[in-house]
């Protein structure tokens, strides 16, 4: 990892550590820290329905810094295993755990100690037991290959400085036939990386955003199929909250070799 990448990662970690402490103190996500420069109705806890917010502790809702509601688009089923990349204060993990039921499991991966502590406290308060919060980075997920049914994430992939590694990890941990339901900030194809940087910072969820075609190509290069990137809300000129979906191909069924009898083989 380059010095620049390390610096960006540390800036992101510090921003979200501050947000976790602010949420724990009951002051929302802190001054100007909700996913950086973008402060509008396309971000935060109001993207969750009132009944969903009622299912989680207030601190979990207050710490929501995302640009969507991935649990609303991931079509979760009882008994499934779900992984949330960049799980923050735990709102999406807690909601996922409730959706998949006691036979299912919800994992959250985050690199920020303060967010992990907040998420574990929120899960305890919510009374969910089928959750596991793991410290790690989304470029190297601490789970085995083909171990989860669904990968979700809420405005976190854009923060990575190595998105190819993130998308490859998503494909690695998904079971054959597994799927993704990701909310993220995505740029229109007309915007160059320089255009995106002019609109906002990397830590503010803007400069590091992929374009729609880059996202689609990246997921396909990672081996996923049925890829779609659907814009929902415009957050800045040419920058949108988006729903990203894809599926890992089902492993092909081994072809059976034809049975050749001794008579048909002409050997006797």
Report whether 94 contacts 122 (CB < 8 A): yes
Number of domains in the chain: 1
Tens digits of residue pLDDT in 83-120: 999 999 999 999 999 999 999 999 999 999 999 999 99
Tens digits of residue pLDDT in 4-44: 888 888 888 888 888 888 877 765 554 333 444 555 545 66
Does any domain span residue 34? yes
Q: Which residue range forms the structural domain that includes residue 20? A: 3-250
Tens digits of residue pLDDT in 153-195: 999 999 999 999 999 999 999 999 999 999 999 999 999 999 9
Give the DSSP letter of residue 59: H
Does any domain span residue 75? yes
Does any domain span residue 267? no
Give dist(CA 193, CA 158) in Å, integer. Answer: 12
CATH for 118: 3.40.50.150
Does any domain span residue 265? no
Q: What is the CA radius of gyration of the chain?
A: 20
User: Looking at per-residue confidence, does 16 or 76 come out higher?
Assistant: 76
Does any domain span residue 264? no
Please report how many Cα atoms fall inside a 13 Å half-sphere around the Cα of residue 143, on the Cβ side: 31
Report whether 180 contacts 224 (CB < 8 A): yes
Does any domain span residue 106? yes
Does any domain span residue 42? yes
Does any domain span residue 256? no
């Amino acid at each position: 990892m380059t010095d620049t990448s390390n610096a960006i990662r540390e800036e992101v970690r510090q921003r979200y550590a501050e947000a976790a402490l602010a949420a724990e103190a009951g002051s929302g996500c802190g001054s100007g820290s909700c996913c950086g420069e973008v402060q509008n109705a396309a971000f935060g806890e109001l993207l969750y329905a009132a009944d969903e917010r009622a299912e989680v502790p207030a601190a979990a809702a207050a710490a929501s810094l995302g640009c969507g509601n991935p649990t609303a688009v991931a079509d979760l089923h009882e008994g499934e295993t779900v992984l949330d990349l960049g799980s923050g204060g735990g709102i999406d993990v807690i909601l996922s755990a409730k959706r998949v039921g006691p036979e299912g499991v919800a994992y959250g991966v985050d690199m920020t100690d303060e967010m992990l502590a907040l998420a574990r406290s929120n899960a305890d308060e919510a009374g969910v037991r089928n959750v596991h919060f793991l410290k790690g980075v989304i470029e190297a997920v601490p789970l085995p290959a083909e171990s989860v049914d669904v990968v979700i994430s809420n405005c976190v992939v854009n923060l990575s400085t190595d998105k190819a590694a993130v998308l490859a990890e998503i494909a690695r941990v998904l079971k054959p036939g597994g799927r993704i339901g990701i909310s993220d900030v995505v740029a229109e194809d007309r915007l160059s990386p320089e255009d995106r940087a002019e609109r906002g910072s990397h830590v503010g969820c803007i400069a590091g955003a992929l374009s729609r075609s880059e996202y689609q190509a990246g997921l396909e290069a990672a081996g996923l199929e049925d890829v779609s990137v659907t814009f929902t809300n415009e957050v800045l000129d040419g920058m949108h909250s988006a729903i990203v979906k894809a599926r890992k191909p089902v492993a092909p069924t081994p072809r059976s070799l034809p049975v050749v009898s001794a008579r048909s083989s002409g050997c006797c």
